[in-house]
Structure 1
C-alpha cells in the first residue's frame, strides 16, 4: 500500500514538472516573439548631434550656441590653453563648452540638456560649473578698457567731435531676474513686482563691456552701486581726463558726464521739434551717443536667454552667470561679431526703464561744480557751431 502511495506521489510530481517545463517553453517562445527596443549607441548619437551643430550652417550654430563656429573653437582653445577647462576621460573640452553655451543661450534645464546629449543631470551640472569657473577666469583679460584714444564713432562724426573727444563709453544699470529666499525678497524688489538684481555695466562704443558689477539688490539706487564699484579693490576706474556718459541718476561728477536735468532728453522727444537752445542740443547728442549702453544690454540679453528668465540655481551662481555672459559676449565681439542675433538686437533697441524714469523718482545726487563747468563749456561750443553751420 505504501509503495502504491509513493508511486502516485512521484507520478503527480512528474506531471507537475512536465507541465511546468511546457509552460516555460511556451513563455520563452512568446518572449522571443516580442519586439526588442533598438540599440542606441549614445556616444555616437551625442557626437553626431554636436558635429551637426558645429559643422552645419553658421546660422544653425548661432541659433544653438549663440556664436559662429569660429568663435566657439576660439573660446575652447582659449580655455584649454589657459588650463581653465581641461578634457577628462569622459568628456572633451568641446562638449563641456557646448553644454555650457547651450544652457545659458536658451535657459535649458540640466535634465533637459542631459536627455538631449545622453548624459545624467548630475554630469551636466558638474561640467556646467567647471566651464562657468573657467569663463570667469577670462574676466580681466576680456572685460577692460582697450584704448584711451578717441573712439572712431566719435572722431568720425561732426555731431560728436570734438565735444565728446574724451568720452570712452557709456555707463548704466540694468535689471536681471533674480531668485532669492523669501526672507530677503523685499530688498530685491524694484519698481516692478518681481525680484531682480541691479547690474552696473560700462560699455565702449564698439559694444564691448569694460566693467560689470553684478549682485546688488534690485531696490538699490544706481549711484549707490556705482560708489561701491569705485570703492572696491581693483574695481571700476576711469582714466584721468576721460569720462563715461551717464544719466541724471549718477549726477555730473568726476569721470561721469550726465545730461541737464529738467530738459528734453530722449530721442523721441525731439522727433517733431528740433532743439531750441544749447542745453537741449547737448541733451539730444548726449542721448544719441548714450544709446550705446541700450544696444549693449539689448544684444547680451537677446543672445543669452538665461538673463531674461526666472533663475533656477542659487543666487551666487546667478551672479556668476551674469558676469560669464558678459565675458562670452566680449569674446564674440572680438572674434566674429557680425551675425543675425547682433543685427536683430540692434534693430530692436528700446529705451530702458532707467531712461524712462523721471528725476522725481531718483535720489538726490550732488553734482560736481568743476564738471558742471566742463559740461557748460562743451554745451556752448556745440551750440555755437550748430547755429553757425545750421546743423
Structure 2
C-alpha cells in the first residue's frame, strides 16, 4: 500500500466517523497497527514494542479498526458494473461474443482457521489443518464482488454457494448475467461451469495438444478466463500474511478479518476511490426469490446446460470455419 493510498483510507474512515482519534492515538496509528497484524502477521507483543503501546491498547484498536473496515466493506465489496469486461470484448473470436454477459468468476478457497478442539473435525477438510471454506466472486480486474466466510472446511463448495444465494443479503446475480465456476458446481442460472470429464486445465493443452471437439474448445477458453479467481486468491494471500497460518483469534473475529482484508484489497486496487455504488442501485436487484418447485429449478438448470452446449458448438463451428481454406 502506497502512502497516499494509506492516508486516503484514513481520511475516509475519519470522514465517515468509523474511527475516532484519542488524545494519545491517532487514526493513522490505529490503522497502521491493524495493517501490521494482517499484512505482516505480527503478534500483539512486537506491535506493542514497535508502537510503544500496551498490549491492551493494541488489541482494543485492532478490533475497532476491524469493525470499521467491515462496515466500509459494504461499499467496497459489491458489484459496481454489469457491463461485459474489456478483457472479453477486446478478444473477438476467442472470448467474444461467446462469453457475452459474463461479469466475473467465483470459487471457494480454504484459509487456515483456529477453532476449539471439539470443532476441529468439522473444519478439517481436504487440507491437513482446520480451515474455513471462503466463497468469493471476483471481476476481471481482480476486485472482490462478494465474499462469504465462516463455513467449515469440510463443507462442499456447492453447499456454500447455495447458502450465499439463499441469504437475504447474499450473492445477487443480475438477471441475464453470470459467473464462471469450476466443475465442482452445477450449471444453474447465473453460474456457468465447464464440462466434466473433459480436458480443462491449461497445462493439459500445452504444446501441440489442440482441442479436438467443441467441449474441449469451450473448456480451454473457459479455463483461460476463470484463472482470474485463482489470481485474486493468490494476490490476497500474498498481500496479507495472516492467511498463511492459523490466527489466534476467536472464530467470529477470523471471519471478520477475511472480509476486512478483501475490502483493503479492493481499496488498494481502486487506489482509494471517492465515489461508491450502493446496494440500492436499480440494476442490483436479485433474481426473483419466489418459491419454486423442483421441476421449475430443474428446467432452469437444463436451460443453462443447453446455453453451454450452444456456446461450445458456436465456438467450434467458428474455429473450423477459420481453418477451412
Aligned to 1:228: 163
Aligned pair count reads 298
For 1:1-391, what aligned pairs fall within 5 Å after superposition?
A: 67-158=1-92, 159-272=94-207, 273-335=209-271, 368-390=301-323
CA deviations 1:119-148 (Å, max 9, x no partner) are 111111111111001100111110111111
What is the Cα deviation at residue 187 of structure 1?
Answer: 0.2
Displacement, 1:389? 2.0
| CA–CA separation in structure 1 for the residues paired with 2:251 and 2:188 | 32
Give the helix-richer structure, 1 or 2. 1
Deviations 1:184-204 (A, max 9, x none): 100000112210000000000
Structure 2 CA distance for partners of 1:366 and 1:187, relative to 1, 3 Å = farther
SS at match of 1:87: coil
Counterparts of 2:58 and 2:300 in 1: how far apart (Å)? 50
Give the Cα separation in 1 of the matches to 2:88 and 2:59. 45
CA–CA distance in structure 2, aligned partners of residues 366 and 317 of structure 1: 41
The TM-score with structure 1 as length reference comes to 0.74
Tell me if the contact between 2:142 and 2:232 (Cα under 8 Å) persists in the aligned partners. Answer: yes
Change (3 A) 1:93 1:390: farther
**CA, structure 1 residues 99+390, in 2 after alignment: closer, same or farther (shift >3 Å)?**
farther
**Which one scores higher on RCO, CA 8 angstroms, separation ≥ 6?**
2
Aligned equivalents of 2:219, 2:250: Cα separation in 1: 41
| Ranges in structure 2 where 5+ consecutive residues have no aligned partner | 274-297
Of the two, which has the highest radius of gyration?
1
Aligned to 2:282: none
CA distance in 2, matches of 1:326, 1:91: 25
Q: Which runs of 5+ in 1 are unaligned?
A: 1-66, 338-364
Tell me how large the CA RMSD over aligned residues is: 1.6
Q: CA contact under 8 A between 2:8 and 2:272: conserved in structure 1?
A: no
Instruction: Decide whether aligned partners of structure 1 residues 274 and 367 sit closer, same or farther in structure 2, where only a CA change above 3 A counts.
Output: farther
With the length of structure 2 as denominator, give the TM-score of the two structures. 0.89
Runs of 4 or more off by more than 4 Å in structure 1?
Answer: none
